[in-house]
Copies of this chain bind each other. A is one copy, B any other.
Amino acid sequence: MTSQHRFSGFCVAAALAAAFYGTSVSAKTALDAESTDPVTLGWMQGFPPPPDKLVMQPESDFFSFPKMRWTVCHIRELMPTKQVSRGLRAPVPLEYAPLPGFDQVSFVPLGADTPMNWAQSLSANYTDGLLVLHEGKVVYEHYSGCLNDAGKHAAMSMTKSLTGLLAEILVVEGRLDEKARVATLVPELRDSAFGNATVRQVMDMTTALQYSEDYANPKADIWAYSRAASPLPKPEGYTGPDGYFEYLETVKGNGKHGEAFGYRTINSDALGWIIARVTGKDVAQLLSERIWQKIGAEQDAYLTVDAKGTPFAGGGLSAGLRDLGRVGQLMLEEGSLNGQRLFPKTVVENIRAGGDRNAFAKAGYTTLKGGSYRSMWWVFHNDHGAFAARGVHGQTIYVDPTANMVIARFSSFPTAANAAIDPTSLPAYQAVAEYLMAQ
């Protein structure tokens, strides 16, 4: 492996990884949140940092645990990125109504015998930032690890939900036909498996794609995707695809579209391409114009890019915690925020209604039984009608319409798969929802 290969696009290993439960990485570690705190460990401290405190390319180093607990707040310092501008106007401050009893909210983790309280769950989940909004006001806010209120954190696959939201907006506005075949919008994808899929199948990830995320197999598609997505000039002799778009053209089919849910990041990047073709704007620009400039965001966000400047629509976003809270509140309020309507209510209604639950069941998510995936949002179909954006290592925007609650969480859990984190997260969210409803 030449050193070019080592400067990666921060694409696959991190962002796709095991958000899909079936490929959960086993990462039992004795290193708890306190002993892996990136500030305590001194990553990148000193001028220059001592060799054993450097966090550098390649990705296999910078995204290794516990270094990744520093990296998740510093993606742009390791690779090229594109701004998601908040615009130039004043931020709209969040209102605060803190509830001191929060830390004592108690719940029983899935599969456990003994209860845990909220404060304990923060450490258990390697939480870097957590914001709870109730009735539109911040009732709880917490930062640790690498994050503070002025910092940004990798959103990982929550990026998908923003890409999906943009697509759903375009669908509802009549600018994107969800029934259209992808090839009619992006002719370059005609001979790929995406070509005869509908836009909706891409949005809901019910495409049937031949795409392996088996990390143990050096010939797995995920590695080819990673090489294509690298922002570096390709190594001499490299003949594979250059960039997200060229890679997508090579994806082959595996069965019939529309029958089973298959969580594959390449759907999000295909959707990013579709959006760009329909609007003439890439995901970074459209996300700025439709969302970030309209929510009173405090901070710009950004997306990683490939060597041709294409934003990583499937996992490249980094943003401030409060701004993700604003996105959650926007979803809770069905497309309105700060008294302004950003998009029709139908957009959120469509997402909240969920996708094909039978198709979803085939994927076998044990912590998400009965759920579905719609426009790249996870829909729990629980009593509260909750839905969420989710990313590996514990990233979440959790929207509970019944409790009038939004939770935004950034974390750096050692295991990528949320299936490892859900047992202490989902019951905690439910307990908090009930606590808030009782206030």
Contact = CB atoms under 8 A, between A and B. Distances in A.
A293 to B, nearest CB: 9
Interface string A276-298: 11000010000000000000001
A190 interface: no
A150 B152 CA distance: 20
A344 interface: no
A365 to B, nearest CB: 33
Nearest to A281: B47
A190 B79 CA distance: 33
B80 A150 contact: no
Contacts of A252: none
A307 interface: yes
Contacts of A298: 88
A149 B54 contact: no
Interface residues of A, number: 54
A113 interface: no
Closest 5 A/B residue pairs (Cβ): A90-B90, A47-B276, A88-B298, A3-B233, A57-B233
Given A4-B4, A7-B7, 16 more contacts: A3-B4, A3-B232, A3-B235, A49-B309, A57-B231, A57-B232, A57-B307, A58-B233, A76-B82, A77-B82, A77-B305, A83-B152, A88-B149, A88-B150, A88-B299, A232-B232
Interface of A: 2-4, 6-7, 44, 47-49, 54-58, 74, 76-83, 85, 87-91, 149-150, 152, 231-236, 243, 245-246, 273, 276-277, 282, 298-300, 302, 305, 307-310
A81 B90 contact: no
Contacts of A246: 48
Contacts of A3: 4, 232-236
